[in-house]
Every structure is written in C-alpha cells, then in structure tokens.
Structure 1
Amino acid sequence: MSKKIGYLGPKGTFTKIAVDSLFNGEVKKSYATIPECIDGVQNEEIDIGVVPLENAIEGTVHLTIDYMIHQVRLPIIAEIVVPIKQHLLVNDKFDQSRDQIANVYSHSHAIAQCHQYLHKHLPDADIHYTTSTGSAAEFVSESDASNAAIGNELAAEEYGLTILAKDIHDYANNHTRFAVLSKTGDPVQIREQTIETQKTTLMITLPSDYAGALHQVLSAFAWRKMNLSKIESRPMKTGLGNYFFIIDVNQPYDSVLFPGVQAELEALGCKVTILGTYPVFHMHL
C-alpha cells in the first residue's frame, strides 16, 4: 500500500521538487503552510510530511524548528538536500520590458536569496511575501503584466509562466535541506537514490546559564571524536536567556557512543532528546 506524502505547496514549490525526487507513485497532498503540513502528519491525514529545514544562504527555517519543538514533536526519518535555482517569472501579458514590473512576489526566503538582483535590477519594485514560491507563481499567472514572481522551473511549467531571468539568486552554492517527518518513525522507502551520509539530530537543554556550560556539552562529543555538522541555539520561549540547542552529529545513532554522551550530559543536568537518526539524500538537478 502506497503512503500519502504531504508537502508545502501548492505545485511548483521546491518542497514539491524534493518530494518528486524521492517518492514515485505515492499520493501527494499539498499544504498551504509548514504548520499545516506537520499537523497533517500528527493527525494522520498523511503518512509522511516534507518541510524545509535550512537554506545555505538564509539559514534555518525557524518556523519549522520551532513548530517541531514547541507544538508537534515528530521524528525526522530522512533529509533531502536540494540545489536551489531561483528565476524571475512573468506571465503571457508581459511585453519584455523589465521596467514595467512594479511588484515581485515570493516566499520570504526566496526574496532574501535574491536581494542583490532585486536591488540592482528592480530597485523600485514593491516586494510582497507569500506562503510559498508556488503560491507566488500561481498568483502571478492570474494577474496583470506588472507583477512577477521568484520561483523555479517547475513553477514556471506548472503555471504557464516565462522565465525572464535565470539563476537570480545571489550565491551559486544555494541549497536547501528538507526534513522528512513521520509519526511512526519507520525508515523511509525511497526510489533509486544514494544515501550520501547518516545523521543524528539532538535537542539539548542546559540546566542553567553558567560559565562553561556549552563547552562541557561539546566536550562530550569532542573526546569521542564525534563530528558535529551543526550547532544552533533557539529560545525556549519561557523567558529571556533561556535556550535549547539543536546539534547534528554526522553518524547514525549507535548503542555505544550515544548512550555515553547522553549519560554524561544528563550527569551535568542537561536534558537530551533524540529528534531523529536518519539517512541524508542529495538531489542533483
């Protein structure tokens, strides 16, 4: 029986590209927002949810992390790394004069990834934020010639738009990590993809703010020669100065090193939560 896959939609988003790269033949359902997609997994409307986690230019998608931590705690069962290529899209009413563009629509992260292009080529255009690049493309497809969207080739194809300018993102090495979430935590079954690496993500809460606390936490990994690919602090939302840490370890959870780390950190008064141990897949456009 095929699984139902949810993603940040509508059609034409980078999340849809990530879903199509890993899953074939499953029922796919789009959601308008990241929380709605995560809720869909929790409420068993879908079996698996795919949501953006981090962009190489703009950093962590805080809405995803905060919702996963504070609202709906679901295990991460896989990660998809997708190269991001942003294009300026216009509809069939456009007459090829860039000066007529008065408004540019896209997701806030897409806009941020293209700041230099917008500053240089469309300094007078008004910027409008949408829930996704796909929704921006959908809006522009039905509007007048003064509007443009920032999105990908799939969005242009889905909504009949023309790519006026290609690769307008500010930095060439633009990638986004997508988290694959499941309520059951069962390993994901994907099609014809190579696992690039394995990763384990931990949430660590310090007992109190004292000198050397973070150093002690990191030392528990360092002396075991465990490679950390990411360390990030996020507010606990319980008061100023209260934080938790998200730590990515570049190896799968095992029965030797990780229990030792947990025991050492808990002896320091830390709370340790495993958010997932999972394969990482890299998509190549």
Structure 2
Amino acid sequence: MAIGYLGPEGTFTHAAARELCPGTELVALATQAQAIAQVEDGTIDGAVVPVDNTVNGVVLPTWDSLLLTTESRIVADVLVPVTFNAYALDADVAPEVVASHPHALAQCARYVGSLGVPSRVTSSTAEACASLAPGEVAIAAPVCAELYPVATIATEVEDGAGAITQFGLVTRDDVRPTTERWTTVFAALPERNAPGSLAALLGPLSALGCNLENIVARPVRDSVDYVFLLFVADLDADREAAALESLGARCSGLSVLGRLAATKPSGPDGASGVPVRLASVGS
C-alpha cells in the first residue's frame, strides 16, 4: 500500500500518517487536493490530511477537495498535539520575513507579531524549513530540527499550549469506525435556495435526537446555492441510516464525506473562550 500525506517530511501530517498507517509506504505530496485526487483516481491507496483544529476550526481545503470526488471519504482519524518552534539558517542574522503554513502563523500570532516583519505563506510547516532563505524565520514542528539544516532560535512559540489537530485517513472504502459512536460528516445540497431550506434539513435531525456538532456552508460555483457540511455526532449505524433518510428526503444532493471516531478535543490552554463581542449578555 502507498499512503500520501501533506509533505515534506516533518509536517504534523507526516506524524499523523505514521500513527494511522504504521509500516506503510508514505508518499509526500504538495497539497490536500493533490493527495485526495490521487486517492480518487487510484494512484495511491489512501491519504492522510488535516480535517480540524482546536484553534482555527475545520480545514476547508480538505473538505473542498473531498467535495470534488465521488468515492473518497474519511474512514479513520487521529488527534495530534501541536507545538511550534522557530528556526533560522543563521541564528545571528536579524529576521526579515517569517514563513509558515497559515494555520501555524495564526497559532503563533503573538510571536509572529513580536518579530515585526512580513510573513510568507507556505504549503506546510515543514516546507517553511525546506525553503528557508537567509534572513527568514520558519515556524515548524520540533522534529524539523532533526530533518533540516536549521538553527533553533525559540521553542514553544504558540499562543496557547494544548492545541490539537485532527487528521483523517481518506480512502475509497466505505467502512465505519469500530467505536460505539462516531461523527458523520454529510454534504447536503438543499432542494432549493429559499427561506427555511436549512431549517428544513436541521429540524428532522433534532427530532431524531442527533447532535449537530458543526455546520459549514460552501458556495456552489456559478450558482446562488450552498452545500452544507453537517457534522452530526453520536451516531451509530442505525442513527446514521435514519439521518441519511431524513436528509435525503429534503436534498437534491447528499453524500457522506467521512466518519470521525476520535473524541472532539477541547481548545488549548489560554484560549480566548467566548469572543469579546459575544461575552456580554444583552449587548
């Protein structure tokens, strides 16, 4: 078997792939879209991709890529703790640019801001080290110190300790988790874009006693319509079948994008909690 992952070596996705697929040939790929497309066309047997994060929420490129497939879905998942170090080619050179993946830059916003320099977005945290230029600082995983010729200039630069990223294994199989309960992610296209269309989907789920853990709206290209990703938790085979029947009766398109078995992690220590704008009751 060959399993793709968001490379290069040293990414958090690489660590997740080693945990989800031990002893399997791992293939570094440039993007989630490329990895999932190669699963869909049979070039590789599976792909490990990020799906959710306790700081930034769902990883949209992964879910958007799954929407472009017909058979691929998430069949297993794992939670990986996330911590970041800062690296440079020469620790004595003053930083001029800070480079990393957008999620890493967001999770290390205070440290990035303290540098007072522009940022450069990379396709992964490890790519920031692999492509590091003189005068640049890379934000990446601790393992990158072993894999790339870089100097560590700061450790644990994330804003809050305890951040976690959820990674999923995408294959063309249609298998359910071995756990008693799981979260199923449905892609639902309402029959029409009109007032009450979303309520028509969610009402029956509530009547079934389903726990809607998250909902994400994705626009349909060249249309006024939206596809809704519904993260419905605490399902088993019977409850999932009932949810599929209920949603199918109210959708012009419906598909299962994946099933997530890992316990949903809480936010990191030091997280801001309820947004300031929403913290005052009655404001």
Shorter-chain TM-score category? 0.7 to 0.9
- Give the AA of the match of 1:172: A
Unaligned runs of 5+ in 1: 189-193
The residue number in structure 1 matching 2:159 is: 170
Q: Deviations over 1:55-93 (max 9, x none)?
A: 2222222221112103565121112222211221123x3
Corresponding residue to 1:213 among 183, 197, 203 = 197
Equivalent residue runs for 1:5-154 within 5 Å: 5-71=3-69, 73-91=71-89, 93-95=90-92, 100-119=94-113, 121-123=114-116, 125-140=117-132, 143-144=133-134, 146-154=135-143
The residue number in structure 2 matching 1:254 is: 237
Distance 1:196 1:259, change over 3 A: closer
Are the counterparts in 2 of residues 195 and 281 from structure 1 also a CA contact under 8 Å? no
- Give the AA of the match of 2:130: E
- State the distance in 2 between where 1:161 and 1:210 align: 55
Unaligned runs of 5+ in 2: 266-283
- State the distance in 2 between where 1:197 and 1:38 align: 26
The residue number in structure 1 matching 2:170 is: 181
- State the distance in 2 between where 1:11 and 1:148 align: 18
Q: Give the 3-state SS of the residue equivalent to 1:12 in structure 2.
A: coil
**Percent identical across equivalent pairs?**
28
Distance 1:16 1:52, change over 3 A: same
With 146-155 and 20-29 compared, the bigger mean Cα shift is at 20-29
Distance 1:264 1:35, change over 3 A: closer
Corresponding residue to 1:272 among 254, 257, 261 = 254
The residue number in structure 1 matching 2:212 is: 228
Are the counterparts in 2 of residues 252 and 277 from structure 1 also a CA contact under 8 Å? no
Aligned-residue RMSD, C-alpha: 2.5
**Superposed displacement of residue 134, structure 1:** 0.9
- State the distance in 1 between where 2:223 and 2:204 align: 27
The answer to whether structure 1 residue 203 and structure 2 residue 195 are counterparts is no
**Superposed displacement of residue 137, structure 1:** 0.9
**Superposed displacement of residue 186, structure 1:** 4.9
Distance 1:84 1:72, change over 3 A: farther
User: May I ask how many residue pairs the two structures share in their alignment?
Assistant: 265
Are the counterparts in 2 of residues 82 and 175 from structure 1 also a CA contact under 8 Å? yes
Q: Give the 3-state SS of the residue equivalent to 1:59 in structure 2.
A: coil
**Superposed displacement of residue 26, structure 1:** 1.1
Q: TM-score, normalised by structure 2?
A: 0.84
Q: Give the 3-state SS of the residue equivalent to 1:18 in structure 2.
A: helix
